[in-house]
Amino acid sequence: MIEPYYADDSVTIYCADALEALPTIAAGSVHAVVTDPPYVIGAVSAGNMASKSGGWADMMNSALWFATWYRQADRVLKHTGSLWTFANWRTIPVVMRAAIDAGLPVTSLLIWDKEWIGPGGTQGLRPSYEVVALLAKPGFAIPERGVPDVWRHKVGSYKPTGHPAEKPVGLVRRILRTAAIPPGGLVVDPFLGSGTTALAAASLGLRCIGIEAEERWCELAASRLAQGALFADEVAS
């Protein structure tokens, strides 16, 4: 039994490893898993393909880890549930491989146009997007059939929290609304970071279980939740 680090009427945070905490969540109890995992592709992400730990073997190792928590996501999700997971172009092969291993198919790749262009190099183009893979359970359905797969949403938040991978609350709210979770439905984020998914869920009248391994980010998430109200740009989407 893992003691909650934080709990209020709608949000519970566990300061724990996702692979320890996910198995404690009841099977078939969750409407959506919305998360932004560490990419853990080691030397590949650092661009050093010549390194011993780089290349395809490195990618396959991380695919094993991804498949392990995808299986847990599959177990906790309802038959009508969905998993939305942030990624970038380098992690797509890992996401695809892990999805096949876990038996949870990727049914869309959402392009998030960050309306901001990062620094370039001589061998690559300047990055301006990230992706969110949608993995759907057999009974999942998006009621509004016209939702496109490219979304524009400013990367910056009104008041940055200090977490290096913080995502915009408004973007996550849009994901939660698209996933058509019923009022009071349960969302899980196994890699909570600064608490963005929990804030977005609570602001929409949903419940959220967040798991985060590092105490400093649990503390940050708890203090964001305790502050309550969202800024106008966090609500807009």
Nearer to ligand SAM, 168 or 185 (CB): 168
How is the beta sheet containing 106-113 ordered, strand by strand?
6-7, 11-15, 207-212, 186-189, 30-35, 77-87, 129-136, 106-113, 150-152
Among 165, 180, 204, 236, binds ligand SAM (CB under 6 A): 165
Question: Least CB distance from residue 58 to ligand SAM, whole Å?
Answer: 17
How many residues belong to the site for ligand SAM (CB under 6 A)?
A: 17
Asked if 212 touches ligand SAM (CB under 6 A), the answer is yes
Q: Does 17 bind ligand SAM (CB under 6 A)?
A: yes
Choosing from 134, 217, 218, 234, the residue that interacts with ligand SAM (CB under 6 A) is 217
Which of these segments, 1-9, 128-136, 161-169, 228-236, binds ligand SAM (CB under 6 A)? 161-169
39-45, long-range: CB within 8 Å, 24+ apart, which pairs? 39/87, 39/88, 39/90, 39/91, 39/94, 40/65, 41/90, 41/91, 41/94, 44/90, 45/90
- Using rule CB under 6 A, residue 214 touches ligand SAM: yes
Residue 36 interacts with ligand SAM (CB under 6 A)?
yes
Q: Does residue 38 touch ligand SAM according to CB under 6 A?
A: yes
